[in-house]
Amino acid sequence: MNPIPYTPDLISMVVGAVISLLFNYFPGLNTWFSALRTEVKSFIMIGLLAVASVAIYLLSLYGIVEISQPVDWVLVLRTFILAVVANQSAYVIAPQTSAVKAAKQ
């Protein structure tokens, strides 16, 4: 049986989805985040995903995450895009809690 290869693509998608779920379900964080303006929420989420992409790049650069391609700016861009896709997919699919619905009003 082959183990799952922990590639930068897989890691970025998991991180993107986990960030979305944390901001949707973690008590206290979810109500604070949902009460913010849409522009502020977008800026926070994009910033966190950018930081995660750079962290994945650095993990790949220093050999912590094994990768079979050159480690360059294309890796950062690809991992960022995959993280955004996973983040927004998880946000759309996950049902909102009653606390989040109340905080949005």
In the 8-state DSSP scheme, what is residue 12? H
CA 55/CA 51 separation, integer angstroms: 6
Q: At what angle do helices 8-25 and 73-93 cross, to 10 degrees?
A: 40
Give every residue of the chain whose pLDDT is below 50, as ranges: none
Q: What is the pLDDT of residue 2?
A: 66
Please answer whether residues 56 and 15 qualify as being in contact, where contact means their C-beta atoms are separated by less than 8 angstroms: yes
CA 81/CA 49 separation, integer angstroms: 9
Q: What is the pLDDT of residue 100?
A: 77
The pTM of the whole model exceeds 0.75 = yes
Residue type at position 5: P
CA 62/CA 33 separation, integer angstroms: 34
